[in-house]
Amino acid sequence: MNDTNKGVALMSQQVAGRMAGRRVLVIGAGQETYGLPPEEVTLGNGRAASLRMATEGATVACADLHLDRAEDTASQILAEGGAAWAFTVDATDESSMVALFDAAVAVLGGLDGVLVNVGMGGPAWLSGTTAAAWDRTFALNARAHFLGCKLALQHLDDDGAVVLVSSVASLQPGSRMPAYDSSKAALAGLCRHAAFEGRRRRVRVNVVVPGLIDTPMGRIATRDRPGRTAGRLPLGRQGSAWDIANGVLYLMSNEAGYVNGQLLVIDGGLTTIH
In this predicted structure, the answer to whether residue 99 has a pLDDT above a threshold of 80 is yes
In this predicted structure, the answer to whether residue 7 has a pLDDT above a threshold of 60 is no
Average pLDDT, the chain: 92
Residue pLDDT, tens place only, 209-238: 999 998 877 787 777 777 777 778 899 999
- pLDDT band at residue 274 under the 50/70/90 scheme: low
Catalytic positions are: 180
In this predicted structure, the answer to whether residue 11 has a pLDDT above a threshold of 90 is no
Instruction: Say what the pTM is.
Output: 0.91
What does the pLDDT read at residue 245? 98
Structural domains in the chain, sorted by start = 19-273 (3.40.50.720)
Residue pLDDT, tens place only, 24-62: 999 999 998 888 888 888 899 999 999 999 999 999 999
Residue pLDDT, tens place only, 146-199: 999 999 999 999 999 999 999 999 999 889 999 999 999 999 999 999 999 999
CB-neighbour burial class of residue 222 (10 A; exposed 0-12, middle 13-18, buried 19+):
middle
CB-neighbour burial class of residue 3 (10 A; exposed 0-12, middle 13-18, buried 19+):
exposed
- Angstrom distance (rounded) from CA 34 to CA 36: 6
What does the pLDDT read at residue 16? 63
What does the pLDDT read at residue 79? 97
